[in-house]
Amino acid sequence: MKHTLVARVADQPGVLNRVASLFRRRAFNIESLTVGHTETSELSRMTIVVDTARVPAHIVAANLRKLVPVMDVTDVTHMPTVDRDLALIRVRCRPAERAELASLVEIFRGRIVDVADKSVIVEVTGDEEKVGGLVELLRPRGILEMVRTGKVAMLRGAAATAPPAS
């Protein structure tokens, strides 16, 4: 089972290393980890997808809360969320194939963001299944390079994942 944890952490050097070290020491498996700025300059937000087959999510969250730079942790797995993953995919593509490829990418609401002589770079954003679906359709054409951000998530509605820092 995978769980999605959202942690607000102090925006300072070494925080990512401390969180990653905690996961390494406790042998927790990270499926994906994204970190970014928040609406507050002093805080960063981590979205961590963890495999909870060996260790329950509440244990992982409790261990995260013990780290000094971690302000709060919320398990959003069973809450209504908006979640997205971004992928940039370099695909083998001759000039004569571009229109067909563009049509395929459009079905997934993706777009071609760069064109080279023998390849294009496709950008797609969506849930993991949508991104994975496009990747599988592009694989036979020849994926030359790919990068994915990992999941980012926010609670639906008016409620924030955590109260604003004071």
**CA distance linking residue 49 with residue 72, whole number of Å:** 16
Average pLDDT on 129-157 reads 96
Please list the residue range(s) of the chain that carry CATH number 3.30.70.1150: 82-152
pTM for this predicted structure: 0.85
CATH architecture of 2-75: 2-Layer Sandwich (3.30)
Is the pLDDT score of 154 beyond 90? Answer: yes
Please list the residue range(s) of the chain that carry CATH number 3.30.70.260: 2-75
Round the average pLDDT of the chain to a whole number and report it: 93
Question: In the numeric block, which tokens belong to residue 132?
Answer: 């994975």
Q: Are 41 and 165 in contact (CB under 8 A)?
A: no
CATH architecture of 82-152: 2-Layer Sandwich (3.30)
Average pLDDT on 30-42 reads 93
Q: For residue 158, what pLDDT is reported? A: 81
Question: What count of other Cβ atoms lies within 10 Å of the Cβ of residue 11?
Answer: 17
Burial class of residue 134, CB neighbours in 10 A (0-12, 13-18, 19+):
buried
**CA distance linking residue 73 with residue 75, whole number of Å:** 7
Q: For residue 163, what pLDDT is reported? A: 60
Phi/psi of residue 163, nearest 5 degrees:
-65, 150
Is the pLDDT score of 159 beyond 80? Answer: no
Percentage of the residues of the chain whose pLDDT score is greater than 90: 89
Over residues 88-108, the pLDDT tens digits come to 999 999 999 999 999 999 999
Q: For residue 164, what pLDDT is reported? A: 54
